[in-house]
Amino acid sequence: MAHIPDGVLSAPVLISGALVSTGLLGLALRRLRETELPQAAVLASVFFVSSLVSVPLGPSSVHLLLNGLMGLLLGWAAVPAIFVALLLQAVFFGFGGLLVLGVNTLNLALPALLVARLLRSMLHRLAAPALGSELDPALGAPVPVKHAEHGLSAEVSSPRRQRRAFMLGSAAGILAVLLTGLMLAASLVLSGEAFWPAARVIAISFIPLALIEGLMTGIVVAFLLRVEPALLRLDEVRHG
Amino acid sequence: MVESWQPDWPPSKLAGLDLAGLQRPLAEREDRLAAFDPRARLILAALLALTVVSLQTANAGLVALFAAGAIARLGGVSLRRLRYLLPLELLMLVLLLTLPFSVPGTLLLAVGPLVASREGGALALLILFKANAVVLILFGLVGSLGAGPAVHALARLGLPSKLCQLVLLTLRQIDLVGDEYARMRLAMRARAFVPQSNRHSWRALGWLSGMLLVRSLARARRVADAMRCRGFDGQRRLLWRFRWRRRDTLLLLGALPLLAGLLLLDRWGWSGWADWSG
């Protein structure tokens, strides 16, 4: 239900949503280099496919939003990825609408950017290969070097670090989805006082959604730390 | 010619993954609007959506909904595609159930302490009609084009180059990633995995998503290298050209009075329309 259809929101909300989204999209696209487009496209399509997977929850099942994970992994590139996914979903699947595309993008992209801002540097530190026996600021303990020939410490995937990765991912998922729910409710309420009850129902329905999203995002981040830490620090890899 | 544009999309149904919406074959019936330039269809869709969204009365909304249904039918949208409207109706249900009680106005129905108003009901119906009408218009005019031509038309209409390339590359990759996902899901099924609401299932699905990311990143590197080998320098080169013919101009010009008529009807109602014309 993260996609608001056309015909619900008022003109001021639609217009401001479209303007802010266009601005964010422009900024994000400027940061994206042409040679990085293939990588951005592949990751965007992974998120598109993953968000179609139904995750069982109680007697029913839900689809994940994944905007927390996108913010965490992609940073600014999450904005065009979200926009492209929403565009395709609106036109070919009927989720959302045409004129609300700006508001819907904003509702998903802003939480992703916030997550990127707050948690991404922590993730980068966590996934960084520990060199030498320097003190690891994240753990406050010396990190011994094993498998140094791979340039990667086996301790990157120690249970402790994995727990931290899980917590970080969970925080990203919960934060992003709760914020999306709040922004969704806010865009309804700003369009008319009459939407208060509906907005409340939707905001409450986002709480279980945030919990499952947090759990899943945590699992994915912990998995990536163990299997492919490079994915958790894409920018550094690119620039390095 | 339109048919040859569309790559073959293998169905990923086995894995419970529904990518069929991106396929053209889902519009099983003939697209009777195929004679028009995709750009004209895009512009028309935007005009129609703008008009529909600005409607204020449920009557005009209903007219728009029927018109949108006709467009969807002309565009060859099959009934199967309409099941995508279900999530939309869920949200609509929330609005239909809450709006009559939260909009003040003349009494329609009283349930205990709750009072439903006629105005609230009308507003809920208006939103229901408008939301469905816009989706039907999008399906009929843009969705039935198929993903490739639709994005090319957007590019020709001036969508930024980087964004366009991103959409085109993403479209292609969704197909590949979908296949990868279907393969992994099949492997899980072969090991008797049945998704349930428990920790084991969530972990398995999380690892599935993670593995999808890992494999796709590797693929992304290969794709980027291969593209560079073929001289990719970030420039957009569109392969398809469209021809804007007189009938496209006529289509847009013909739509304008109809849209204006609908807006007038919306503003002054049926009786106002009679006064104005007589």
Query: In angstroms, what separates the C-alpha of B169 from chain A's closest C-alpha?
Result: 6
Interface size between A and B, measured as CB pairs under 8 A:
247
d(CA B58, CA A188): 20
Residue-wise pLDDT tens digits, B80-121: 778 778 878 888 888 888 888 888 777 777 777 777 888 888
Alpha-carbon distance A139 to nearest alpha carbon in chain B (angstroms): 25
What is the average pLDDT across B175-185?
Answer: 89
| Residue indicated by tokens 């972990």 | B203
Cα–Cα distance measured from residue B278 to residue B129, given in angstroms and rounded to the nearest whole number: 29
**Cα–Cα distance between A88 and B73 in angstroms, integer?**
21
C-beta of residue B125 within 8 angstroms of C-beta of residue B97? no
DSSP notation for B3-40: HHHSPP----GGGT---GGG-STTS-S--TTTTS-HHH
- By Cβ distance, the residue of B87, B130, B176 closest to A95 is B87
Rg (CA), chain B: 23
Question: According to the model, what pLDDT value does residue A151 have?
Answer: 47
Phi, psi angle pair for A63, to nearest 5°: -105, 140
Listed residue (B246, B248, B277) closest to B264, CA to CA: B277
Bigger pLDDT: B274 vs B190: B190
Domain locations in chain B as residue ranges: 24-145+245-278, 163-237
**Are A6 and B53 an interchain contact pair (Cβ–Cβ within 8 Å)?**
yes
- The per-residue pLDDT for B25 is 44
The segments of chain A whose pLDDT lies below 70 read 1, 129-157, 236-240
Compute CA distances B257 → A217, B4, B110, B138, B254, whole Å: 51, 35, 43, 20, 6
pLDDT at position A154 is 52
Asked if A37's CB is within 8 angstroms of B166's CB, the reply is yes
In this prediction, residue A33 carries a pLDDT of 84
Distance from CA of A198 to the nearest CA of B (A): 6
The C-alpha atoms of residue A171 and residue A114 are separated, in whole angstroms, by: 12
Q: What is the residue-wise DSSP string for B119-146?
A: HHHHHHHHHHHHHHHHHHHHHHHTGGG-
ipTM: 0.83
**Residue B152 scores a pLDDT above 90:** no
Cβ distance A5 to B92 less than 8 Å, yes or no, reads: yes
Give me the pLDDT at residue A222, please: 93
Picking from B125-139, B176-190, B261-275, which range would have the lowest pLDDT averaged per residue?
B261-275
pLDDT band at B5 (very low <50, low <70, confident <90, very high): very low
The pLDDT of residue A169 is: 94
Q: What integer is the mean pLDDT of B8-20?
A: 49
3-state secondary structure of B96: helix
pLDDT on residue B7: 38
pLDDT of residue B203: 93
DSSP code, position B84 = G
Tokens of B77: 């949208």
Classified as helix, coil or strand, B115 is: strand
- Output DSSP code: residue B54: T
- Top-ranked range on mean pLDDT: pick from A173-182, B26-35, B135-144, B180-189: A173-182
Rg of chain A on CA atoms, in Å: 19
Q: Is A59 on the interface with B (CB under 8 A)?
A: yes
Closest CA to B266 of B96, B81, B70, B53: B53
Confidence of residue B275 (pLDDT cuts 50, 70, 90): low
Identify the residue among A27, A92, A221, A226 best suited for mutation to test binding to B, counting B beta carbons within 10 A and taking the highest: A92
Using alpha carbons, list the distances in angstroms from residue A186 to A89, A203, B61: 22, 9, 25
Q: Which amino acid is at B15?
A: A
Query: What is the pLDDT, as a whole number, of residue A68?
Result: 93
Q: Out of B22, B94, B213, whose CB is closest to A201?
A: B94
- A45 → closest Cβ in B129, B162, B170: B170
Task: With CB atoms and an 8 Å threshold, state whether A198 touches B209.
Answer: no
Q: What is the mean pLDDT of chain B?
A: 80
Quote the pLDDT of residue B32: 74
Q: Residue A155 has what pLDDT?
A: 60
A219/B203 Cβ within 8 A: yes
Minimal Cα–Cα distance from A145 to chain B, Å? 24
* Beta pairing class for A135-136 and A60-63: unpaired
> Is A137 in CB contact (< 8 Å) with chain B?
no
Q: Is A119 exposed, middle or buried (0-12, 13-18, 19+ CB in 10 A)?
A: buried
Q: Would you state the pLDDT for residue A177?
A: 95
Residue among A215, A201, A220 at smallest CA distance from A62: A215
Average pLDDT over residues B226-233: 83
Q: How far apart are CA A72 and CA A123, in angstroms?
A: 8
> Could you tell me the domains of chain A?
11-128+148-239 (1.10.1760.20)
More confident residue, B8 or B203: B203
